[in-house]
Structure 1
Amino acid sequence: MEVQLDLLRRVRTGLEEAIFCEGKSPDQINGICETANSSGYRLLLTRLTSEKFSSLSEAARTLIDYDVVSNTAILGEKTLSPAAHVAVVSGGTSDVPVCKEVVRTLNYHGFGCDEFYDLGVTGLWRLMDRLPDLRKYKVIIAAAGMEAALPTVLGGLIKAPVIALPTSIGYGVAQGGKVALQSCLASCSGSLLTVNIDNGFGAACAAIKILQISEPQNNPSQ
Structure 2
Amino acid sequence: MVFGGRVIADSRRPLLVWEVPYYPTYYLPREDVEDVLVPTGAARPSPSRGEGRLSTVKVGDREAVEAATEYPDSPIGELRDHVRLDFAAMDAWFEEDEEIFVHPRDPYTRVDVLSSSRHIRVEIDGVTVAESSQPRLLFETGLPTRYYLPKTDVRLELLEPSDTITRCPYKGEAEYWSVRIGDELYTDVAWYYRMPLPESQKVAGLVAFYDEKVDVFLDGVKQERPKTKFA
TM exceeding 0.5: no
More helix by share: 1
Query: Greater relative contact order: 1 or 2 (C-alpha under 8 angstroms, separation 6 or more)?
Result: 1
More strand by share: 2
Larger radius of gyration: 2
Length-normalised TM-score, structure 2: 0.29
